A and B are shown apart, each in its own frame.
Chain A
Amino acid sequence: MERILNIQELTVSFDGFKALNDLNFSLDRGELRVVIGPNGAGKTTFLDVITGKVKPTKGYVQFKDRSLRNFSEDQISRLGIGRKFQTPRIYQKLTVRQNIELAGNPHKSLFGTLLGKKSPTNQRQVADLLGVVGLEPKADILAELLSHGEKQRLEIGMLVAQSPELLLVDEPVAGLTDEETAEVGQLLLNLSADHSIIVIEHDMEFVRQLSAGLGSQPENRVTVLHEGHVLCEGSMAEVQKDPQVIAVYLGSEEQH
């Protein structure tokens, strides 16, 4: 199977502090991978490096066999990597529809944005997406008026509108109710049918839901980060059995 993402010996240090330390990671096309790890394990920095926000001190990130080192955030985004932030970051003063339109705009250059015409397919795509994330009734109100859960879904919608090949999703269910969590989980699993996805998550119940996959799909793998490198990788069951993981992460989690 083709590798969509390949990371080798990646190190990022801030003033001597190594947020990522000799990290190796790879993702196959079409895979959904959940990344877990305790606070300070380097999960967000991991996404920062892939999306070009932070440049690696050492090592490299390859997306479809192409090194991302010399690309800026917006170029990487146009190459086909989309990112959802931990706290929902949407454009508050635009309507829900405008948010999705802006993310899904096929002409992202200056003059393309200024002069490009809206194509009917484009508009249909926006309408479809509004349906997928369940925000049709609120399509024309300002995004700042949405509830937290709706904002989370809107941001996922914006992410998909960019039609990326690889989706990076950072804690999509933080602050959601159980019901909303299940909905978002279902949404991500549906998307995984034709996207490669990395989900970073804290909520173990949600991780179980994702790793179990949809009925016919094979089980999804889980990667555990600890102190900037990969501690363990495998199915949920394998990870849960790993003594190292129990020591640093799950152990403390289950004592509660």
Chain B
Amino acid sequence: MLSGLITSLFGGISVGSVLLIAALGLAIVFGLMGVINMAHGELMMMGAYTTFLVQNVCKGTFFADLYIFPALILAFLVAGLLGFLLELTVVRHLYGRPLETLLATWGVSLILQQFVRSVSWQFMIGIGIFAALYFGGNQLLSIDKSAKFDGKKLLLTMIAGLAALVICNVLGDIFKLAITQPWFGAQNVDVTAPSWLLGGLPIGNDQLPATRIFIIALTICCVTGVYWFLNKSMWGLRIRAVTQNREMSSCLGIPTERVDALTFALGSGLAGIAGVAVSLLGSVGPNTGTNYIIDTFMVVVVGGVGKLVGSIVAALVLGITSYLIGSDSFAPLLSWAPPLAGFFTFFSNSSMAKVMVFSAIFVFLQARPAGLFPQKGRTVEN
């Protein structure tokens, strides 16, 4: 029974680890800008798809078993770049309106979900043509880029869109499936873990899967990295300063806009890494992000945004409790109290475990409305 408990606990920690990598980025961005990025889950998904691509490219080569490492780097870069663009084009313009930001990033998340479903060569060519025509046209007609969206721009958009649509259809007719075949499609795709992660560490009759050990190690690296970055580097100092008092930091010459962009990119990059971890645990699909995002929000809510350690504790506690409840680890221990055991058995699958854990969070917030480690001081509430 002891080894059973250890495996359960271990399972919980590994679930918590994934939550933690995903929540780290979210928590830093939320603390800094007061913004919730609803597309965070989709950035995870992009990280997972990047892993899938890297795996396919590496298949049969010398790197076949090591693909996970370039995948980590690429996933970080892809998600980070997307996050950077998201901040630049959307989030920045909605500064100080957190609810609007939430809705806009939700829109982005829908677009990203559909993007991985429909993306094909034809689709990419279409986007390329549209972008070339639109921005080229802007340049050619020397339209002021920052100007309001007016009739001229609307006309340009329509012409570029129509041209892209026609060319794509023609190309699709000529080359057929060679370019119309979606890259991923709406179905889930599978990432197989490298062979050295297939085994496990035997404990009693059970074994601890190596993929999960890897994920825990990865989490430790990320947390250490982020901790170091925030506490020891120049940019980390700036991020902390802006988090505590934006106006004052701005007065002291800290480029708050660049701090925002960098932090958002960093947070998104971490989502990409979380995506790699997720891809090792199960198949990857357009909805991968949605499955994790709300749990991740809960980590931020419970942990508070005052300190990094809040996210760590919250992620582990949430991961472990939902795993233990979901895998029905309590009922056998409570055989002396049948009603209590029955109570836990009622919640003993992953979705009912969520019901219980989330309800518990509501109760917890009655005692600590701002989470475990709230931000303190005069600036918190105006």
Contact = CB atoms under 8 A, between A and B. Distances in A.
A111 interface: no
Interface string A5-34: 000000000110001000000000000000
A14 B376 CA distance: 8
Contacts of A45: 378
A15 B377 CA distance: 8
Nearest to A17: B377
A44 B382 CA distance: 12
Nearest to B381: A53
Interface string A142-154: 0000000000000
Contacts of B376: 14-15
Nearest to A15: B376
Nearest to A53: B381
Contacts of A44: 378
The B contact surface, by secondary structure, is: loop
A197 to B, nearest CB: 24
Interface in B266-291: none
A15 B378 CA distance: 11
A19 B378 CA distance: 10
A19 B379 CA distance: 14
A14 B379 CA distance: 12
Interface string B346-382: 0000000000000000000000000000001110000
Contacts of B377: 14-15
Interface string A203-233: 0000000000000000000000000000000
A45 B379 CA distance: 12
A113 B40 CA distance: 42
Interface string B101-135: 00000000000000000000000000000000000
B309 to A, nearest CB: 16
A19 B377 CA distance: 11
A44 B377 CA distance: 13
B2 to A, nearest CB: 42
A44 B379 CA distance: 12
A122 to B, nearest CB: 30
A104 to B, nearest CB: 24
A40 to B, nearest CB: 11
Nearest to A19: B378
A166 B369 CA distance: 32
A15 B376 CA distance: 8
Contacts of B378: 14, 19, 44-45
A15 B379 CA distance: 14
Nearest to A44: B378
Contacts of A15: 376-377
A45 B378 CA distance: 9
Nearest to B377: A14
Interface string A43-82: 0110000000000000000000000000000000000000
A14 B375 CA distance: 11
B77 to A, nearest CB: 39
Contacts of A19: 378
A97 to B, nearest CB: 26
A14 B377 CA distance: 6
Contacts of A14: 376-378
B116 to A, nearest CB: 41
A44 B376 CA distance: 17
Nearest to A85: B382
A86 B377 CA distance: 18
B69 to A, nearest CB: 42
A253 B376 CA distance: 32
A114 to B, nearest CB: 26
Interface in A66-119: none
Nearest to A14: B377
A45 B376 CA distance: 15
Nearest to A45: B378
B243 to A, nearest CB: 16
A170 to B, nearest CB: 13
A44 B378 CA distance: 10
A14 B374 CA distance: 13
A19 B376 CA distance: 14
Nearest to B376: A15
A45 B377 CA distance: 11
B240 to A, nearest CB: 16
B327 to A, nearest CB: 40
B145 to A, nearest CB: 30
A134 B378 CA distance: 34
8 contacts: A14-B376, A14-B377, A14-B378, A15-B376, A15-B377, A19-B378, A44-B378, A45-B378
Interface of B: 376-378
Given A14-B376, A44-B378, 6 more contacts: A14-B377, A14-B378, A15-B376, A15-B377, A19-B378, A45-B378
Q: Please provide the 8 A-B residue pairs with the shortest distance between their CB atoms, ordered closest to farther.
A: A15-B376, A14-B377, A14-B376, A14-B378, A15-B377, A45-B378, A19-B378, A44-B378
